[in-house]
Structure 1
Amino acid sequence: MSKGGTHRSGLEWFSSLPACLLLLAVVIFSTSSDIHNQMLRGGEQIWSGYYKLRMDPVRPTCNPDVDIDAAVAAELAEAPADDPMAALLGAREKDPADIRLAIERSVADCVQAHQSFKNLQDQMTPGVKVYQAVELFIADLIAFGLESQRFILVILVMLCAVTATLTRHHIAMRAMETRLDYTVSHTLQTIANAMLLGSSAIFRQSSLASDTALSSEELLLHNFWIGGFTCLTLASLYRLFRVPGDLQEGGSLNKAFLAVPLYTVMCLISGTYFALIGHASGIGIYLGKMMELSDMFLNVGLYVWVGMMLKQTRLATLVFNVFRPWRMPPEMLAVVAVLVAAVPTAYTGASGIFVIAAGAVIYGELRAAGARRQLALAATAMSGSLGVVLRPCLLVVVIAYLNREVTTDQLFGWGIWVFVLTATLFALVVLTVNRQSQFNLAPSSEAFPATIQALRPLVPYVLVIALVVLFYRLALDVRMDEFSAPRLLPVIMLAILVYEHVSLKSRRGRASGEVNHQGLERSLRGATNDTTAEIGALLLLLGLSVSIGGVIERSHIMATFPQAFDSAWTAMLLMVVILVILGMIMDAFGAVILVTATVANIAYASGIHPVHFWMVTLVAFELGYLSPPVALNHLLARQVVGEAEIAAADAEGGTFYQRHERIIMPLIAMGSSLLLVAFLPLLFYS
């Protein structure tokens, strides 16, 4: 990902503030369902039969004061005995006793209905009416939130995509350094955005021309997409003709193409393919499929926001302070950093989000401990790779949602063992291959008291987190798990920012490097500014990944492979190759959707256990994110540490391994883990 060297402007808050409000709305809408459930339970406990009091009682229309004798006589008089039609229908004679019994029962039911109405009216006290009004308001809020999810997603994606375009934050292989880079990149972005606009407009017209009538909501969604892509096209045109003055002259065309955002490349490939097969609305159709999983994509946005708020706190620095007294050698500290990072990675939803959020701190701490640049960059890129198999990672939840063959409990249960395996192999690689430091740890008598002292500043953070979790558990009956994490984590991070604002306010002017908190408003604004650009880059890339998946699906590439293999070993070998390649070129969530539709069924039919297959998929994806030519996690590490550090690392001498350690070491660690995860279990069940 590349910022392109632009500075944030005050105008950026005009996009970040709406994005912040949209993300808060998602949290409020999702939390309101928990509040509503508790209100229904509370209402039933306070007023027995509250479910009847939720709506104002309606007076029955029947008459309880009926003259039964007159009603019986009238009923008997309705069908005279000499009526030929009545005789034909078999109703020549009516039993007066039966008629009286039916009328008496009807009157009794009417009397009971009126009595029930009177009782409900008596129970409708002012307190009940106030409670009812609040409860129904929340119910309406939930309904509005569910109906608005798709619109919120479209607005959020388009708003953030325009911001990422204007601030040059889209994910690319390298930053724009020269005027040629800039011109090539924004020219192709403009073409791609115009292609997105045209495809969406054609999709709208074909939907209107179809036999199935479009609802007003669907038509409005089409208009939102078209309006958003119009703004995105105009934004890229504006940037194309508004060349910054800090760019270098000259440049090479080959390098310029590397500065083209990945979403642009995916759009040009998929758009050209769909146009050639006469399916110009293809991109619009596959982008529309995002709406079917709008809650998942909104959760991705919330996780990005959580990661950016984490970046604004002191948590990462305070955690490193715990290990600093032991004076660990750089290699050991790199292992500790990656292992500790696994937990927040699981709570931020994806490895890339954590690299963006805490990568700069990890790199800085490793460099301060004496780590060479190549090792620090390798650990930074891998800092989010081990936690994707741990609870409550969103990617695992999505897999279980899309595949009925597996459950989150199964995946997370085996994910712990996969984490132990990958962590062990990573430690072995770092501590044995090319180790250049002596293991001279500080004496425990000296380090242990300092560690205890360093743990004290973390206690308030633990208490803040515990209080939020307990509030949700006791007040809303919501446990902290993979399903509630997207709505709990933003609240937790906001609570931490509030705590830091209150606790550090009096120390703001101190010289300590740790006390760098800028206040609640600035921290939240900074986090949301980063979030806006990252959401625009990630969600647009994710949407185009789905489109690339559509190209693979429609081109029937997978049909060229057997739909089942006689040997699970052969099938697994093919699966590993395909999954790593997908991890190289696609975003995780888009890749999961594609794998679910294509590769997964082949694996199941070939005798590969579903849980085993998805564990292999997760590890293969992470290897793909660390593998050239794209190596997404390395691109994100490049963003957070800066181009200067990458250039300095590349300039360092040494052996071939030492000069390319940041690429080779993660490949060895994750590659060996993938081979063991993929083939070792086959010995026991194939």
Structure 2
Amino acid sequence: MSKGGFRRSGLEWFSSLPACLLLLAVVVFSTSSDIHNQMLRGGEQLWSGYYKLRMDPVPPTCDPDRDIDAAVARELAESPDADDPMAALLGAEEKDPADVRLAIERSVADCQEAHRSYVNLKDQLTPGVKAYRAVELFVADLIAFGLESQRYILVILVMLCAVTATLTRHHIAMRAMETRLDYTVSLTLQTVANAMLLGSSVIFRQSSLGAETTVSAEELLLHNFWITGFACLTLASLYRLFRVPNGLQDGGSLNRAFLAVPLYTVMCLISGTYFALIGHSSGIGIYLGKMMELADMFLNVGLYVWVGMMLKQTRLATLVFNVFRPWRMPPELLAVVAVLVAAIPTAYTGASGIFVIAAGAVIYSELRAAGARRQLALAATAMSGSLGVVLRPCLLVVVIAYLNREVTTDELFGWGIWVFVLTASLFSLVAVTVNRQSQFDLAPSSVAFPAMIQALKPLIPYVLVIAAVVLFYRFALDVKMDEFSAPRLLPVIMLAVLLYEHVSLKKRRGKTSGELNHQGLERSLRGATNDTTAEIGALLLLLGLSVSIGGVIERSHIMQSFPQAFDSAWSAMALMVVILVILGMIMDAFGAVILVTATVASIAYSSGIHPVHFWMVTLVAFELGYLSPPVALNHLLTRQVVGEAEILAAQQEGGSFYQRHERIIMPLITMGIALLLVSFVPLMFYA
């Protein structure tokens, strides 16, 4: 899980530049759709009936000068004779000359109108229209290409970043590799898992080609991309296995070595072994292929991580914390403020784990700089993304509403506000009352308030830059900032912020006390993308294998062993809570939502649990699962971003049992109480 040996130099662009271009391509393709909509509207305003001018008019083939009398005569001549007994037998009737003339006159009139329309459209095709049309059609083709290439971009991004994470030893595991035994065990099992992924993909490709249905060229290309990617990943792990880094300790135990195996490897070995035993060796490849059905969602995850890493390169977090420093808050209260403030960006990043990866390092470093003890700072960092997942415009809630017609985003976000108030109140209560180690001696308002106002001034340019981007999209492209547009707006906003800092801090050379010494736009973007590449590789591969674990649970019919309906909503809820927390421990949010939708949700509905209530419980239960040992994914992600040294230093701190394990216990108390209240209190009113 630790980063291995990539030094910051221009050479790292060989890894991160392609990832940067792919992420930019996603933003460009999605934004081009908004541009195209505006171009169509603009074309219609400039030239009435522009939609007819988008293609060259085709001249009509009919004759506008057709002789009506001659045509009537020919039509009547071809009419059957009324005295003909055979015609009478077949039911043919003699045509009425008046009806024939009327039909031909209408046909000639329509033909003449078609010719007039053709001439009119041809006259309207001015050079200006043709130039505008050429640009508009190019944008339309760009959109079509972007939609078709989404799946390929995702596969290339996942494989590129997974190889990078393997070479830099940045995969997510229960503990870091410290000894040579840890390294050997971890890389050996990674190689086995990668070879298993490669083999499953090859078998899936062969079975698809051998099926009765034809495989399209696009699907075949997608198969080849997966196979090539997993081949490269296998070679990367083999290279790392035989290229042992310096600095590893001798010795070690086998039990601890297994904890250094990445989570994706464990999931792959479990699911791959299961599918092989049931004679379904292509199972992993099939379930990884299901990622393509939600390619836009997984690409949004990559964009959110990129946004967080760009945020880490800016001064924004420091400036926001500067606003609260004049009050001389005790560390516990500052941790509450940090978690509450983090709820808003969490809502825009879609899931707590994504936010921890994206901004956890910033929150931890700022809390430590403000005097927070390590255990408290680690607890706040792990929980920083847990409160905002129920707020608009969280991507996870949008996915729930998309997969479940029983609920809407308005219903979920409406009740999510109350869940946020509850969890925020509980966290505040636990932080400032349980094991409080600091005196609440706030600065006088007469001193703190003016200093706070002064600290707000440096934030004004950032607010203006962000507002400028949002207003540009709103009025120029008619795009509002919401759960659907956030993934493509936020990268543009952060790029604009980096550009502003590049211009402003370059003039001042970053010499003002307390300012970040900004190293320029290119270095900041490169640093952000370097971190993004490794994090995306670790996270998206974990997400993909989590979907495969969901497939194991689904195909093993474990859920069918439970009753499909309960007589009591209370007993059903008790079982739901246990199942949902366990799923949160072993699966990522998006994969777990897909699995719950297919299995558990129907049991809850049929047992009398309201759908909105069920999904609120699901979100809180997942967050408790992400914070609960033995896996505690959010804590693993926290260690991923703050570094193993800080975790070891926190574990060496003394004090009571609670003080020594505060980073684990505090989140469990908060989310555990919240889950009990959210699960069972509403049942008193409708069950």
Same fold at TM > 0.5:
yes
Distance 1:335 1:80, change over 3 A: closer
* 3-state SS in 2 of match to 1:608: coil
* Partners of 2:306 and 2:358 within 8 A in 1: no
- For residues 78 and 179 of structure 1, what CA distance do their matches in structure 2 show? 97
2:61 is equivalent to residue 73 of structure 1: no
Q: What is the distance in 1 between the residues matched to 2:86 and 2:556?
A: 70
Q: For 1:16-165, what aligned pairs fall within 5 Å after superposition?
A: 16-79=16-79, 81=81, 86-91=87-92, 93-165=94-166
For residues 5 and 36 of structure 2, the distance between their equivalents in structure 1, rounded to whole angstroms, comes to 47
Cα deviations across residues 447-471 of structure 1 (Å, max 9, x unaligned)?
1110000001111111111111111
Whole-Å separation in 1 of the counterparts to 2:645 and 2:551: 38
Give the direction of change, closer, same or farther, for the CA distance of 1:7–1:183 in structure 2 (3 Å limit): farther
Contact 1:12 1:163 in 2 (8 A): no
**What amino acid does structure 2 have at the position aligned with 1:668?**
I
Q: Which amino acid in structure 2 is aligned with residue 15 of structure 1?
A: S
Conserved? CA contact 2:510–2:518, under 8 Å: no
Query: Within 5 Å, which residues of 2 pair with 1:173-252?
Result: 173-252=174-253
SS at match of 2:15: helix
* Superposed CA offset, 1:351-375 (max 9, x none): 2222223322322232233322211
TM-score normalised over the length of structure 1: 0.98
Alignment of 1:582-593 (within 5 A): 582-593=583-594
Aligned to 1:453: 454
Report the more deviating stretch, 51-60 or 242-251.
242-251
The separation in 1 between residues aligned to 2:9 and 2:210, in whole angstroms, is 44
Determine the C-alpha separation between the residues in 2 that align with 1:581 and 1:657. Answer: 24
The answer to whether residue 351 in structure 2 is matched with residue 338 in structure 1 is no
Equivalent residue letter for 2:70: A
Shift of 1:79: 4.4
Distance 1:594 1:115 in 2: 60
Deviates more, 1:566-575 or 1:91-100: 91-100
Please list, as runs of the form range in 1=range in 2, the aligned pairs for 1:329-408 lying within 5 A after superposition.
Answer: 329-408=330-409
Aligned 8 A contact 1:389 1:412 in 2: yes
What's the offset of the Cα at 1:507? 2.2
Q: Give the distance between the partners of 2:546 and 2:437, measured in 1 at CA.
A: 41
Give the direction of change, closer, same or farther, for the CA distance of 1:555–1:9 in structure 2 (3 Å limit).
farther
1:253-652 to structure 2, matched below 5 A, reads: 253-508=254-509, 510=511, 512-652=513-653
Give yes or no for contact 2:194–2:230 (8 Å, CA) kept in 1. yes
Q: Give the Å deviation of 1:10.
A: 4.3
Q: List alignment gaps of at least 5 residues for structure 1.
A: none
Tell whether the 8 Å contact from 1:8 to 1:167 is kept in structure 2 after alignment. no
* 1:126 to partner: Cα distance: 1.3
1:140 maps to a residue whose letter is: D
Per-residue deviation at 1:69? 1.3
Distance in 2 separating the partners of 1:4 and 1:402: 40
**Would you say the 8 A contact 1:196–1:283 is kept in 2?**
yes
| SS at structure 2 position matched to 1:143 | helix
Amino acid across the alignment from 2:568: S
Equivalent residue letter for 1:437: S
Mapped contact 1:498–1:520 kept (Cα < 8 A)? yes
Moved more, 120-129 or 244-253: 244-253
Q: Is the 8 A contact 1:150 1:294 kept in 2?
A: yes
Report the secondary structure of 1:280's partner residue: coil
Quote the Cα distance in structure 1 between the aligned partners of 2:64 and 2:624: 77
1:485 to partner: Cα distance: 0.6
Q: Distance in 2 between matches of 1:10 and 1:217?
A: 35
Structure 2 SS opposite 1:438:
coil
Q: String of CA shifts for 1:65-115, please: whole Å, max 9, x gaps.
A: 111111112222234527676444333522222221111111110000000
CA distance in 2 between counterparts of 1:429 and 1:657 reads 12
What is the alpha-carbon distance in structure 1 between the residues aligned to residue 280 and residue 52 of structure 2?
54
State whether residues 303 and 491 of structure 2, in contact with CA within 8 Å, keep that contact through their aligned partners in structure 1. Answer: yes
The CA RMSD measured in Å over matched residues stands at 1.4
Give how far 1:259 is off. Answer: 0.8
For the Cα contact (< 8 Å) 1:300–1:349, is it kept in 2? yes
Residues 569, 679 of structure 1: 8 Å contact kept? yes
Tell me by how many angstroms 1:511 deviates: 6.0
- The question of whether the paired residues in 1 share the 8 Å contact of 2:173 and 2:263 is answered with yes
Query: Deviations 1:632-684 (Å, cap 9, x if unpaired)?
Result: 11112212222222112111111111111111111001111111111111111
Once residues 526 and 258 of structure 2 are traced to their aligned partners in structure 1, the CA distance between those partners, rounded to angstroms, is: 33
Q: Using the TM superposition, give the Cα deviation of residue 151 of structure 1 relative to its aligned residue in structure 2, in angstroms.
A: 0.9
Instruction: Tell me the distance in 1 between the aligned counterparts of 2:295 and 2:357.
Output: 23
| Matched residues, number | 686
Q: Distance in 1 between matches of 2:456 and 2:87?
A: 93
Which secondary structure state, in structure 1, belongs to the residue aligned with residue 479 of structure 2?
Answer: coil
Conserved? CA contact 2:304–2:358, under 8 Å: no
Structure 1 residue 317, shift from structure 2 partner = 0.6
Provide the C-alpha distance between the structure 2 equivalents of 1:368 and 1:491, rounded to a whole number of angstroms.
30
Instruction: Give the percent of matched residue pairs that are identical in Structure 1 and Structure 2.
Output: 88
Counterpart Cα distance in 2 of 1:664 and 1:459: 38
User: How far apart are 1:9 and its partner, in Å?
Assistant: 5.8
- In structure 2, the CA distance between the partners of 1:312 and 1:73, relative to structure 1 (3 Å rule), is same
Q: Which amino acid aligns with 1:405?
A: E
Name the CA distance, whole Å, in 1 between partners of 2:363 and 2:586: 26
Cα contact 2:339–2:385 (8 A) shared by 1: yes
SS in 2 for 1:170: coil
8 Å Cα contact 2:6/2:12 also seen in 1 = no
Q: CA deviation at 1:257?
A: 0.8
Deviation for aligned residue 1:7: 4.2
Q: Which SS does the other structure have where 1:457 is aligned?
A: helix
Deviations along 1:35-72, one digit per CA (max 9) or x if unpaired, are 11111111111111111111111100111111111111
Whole-angstrom distance in 2 between the partners of 1:675 and 1:80: 87
Checking the alignment, whether the CA contact within 8 Å between 1:389 and 1:418 is kept in structure 2 is: yes
In 2, distance between residues paired with 1:510 and 1:423? 38
Is this contact kept in 2: 1:180–1:251, CA < 8 A?
yes
Distance 1:179 1:388, change over 3 A: same
Aligned amino acid, residue 645 of structure 1:
E
2:613 & 2:80 partners in 1: Cα distance? 79
Q: What amino acid does structure 2 have at the position aligned with 1:417?
A: W
Alignment partners' CA distance in 2, 1:457 and 1:310: 16
Matched, 1:673 2:669: no
Q: Any conservation in 2 of the 1:186–1:240 contact (CA below 8 Å)?
A: yes
Letter in structure 1 aligned against 2:584 = G
Is residue 63–residue 111 contact of structure 2 (8 Å, CA) maintained in 1?
yes
Cα offset, 1:586, TM superposition: 0.7
- CA distance in 2 between partners of 1:89 and 1:461 (Å): 85
Deviation at 1:6, TM superposition (A): 5.4
Contact 1:325–1:451 (8 Å) recurs in 2 = yes
Letter of the 1:32 partner, please give it.
S
Q: C-alpha displacement at 1:219, in angstroms? A: 1.1
What SS is found at the alignment partner of 2:232?
Answer: helix
**Cα distance in 1, alignment partners of residues 473 and 597 from structure 2:** 34
What secondary structure sits across from 1:168 in the alignment?
coil
For residues 494 and 267 of structure 2, the distance between their equivalents in structure 1, rounded to whole angstroms, comes to 34
Moved more, 483-492 or 352-361: 352-361
Change (3 A) 1:509 1:661: closer
Structure 2 segments unaligned to the other structure (5+ residues): none
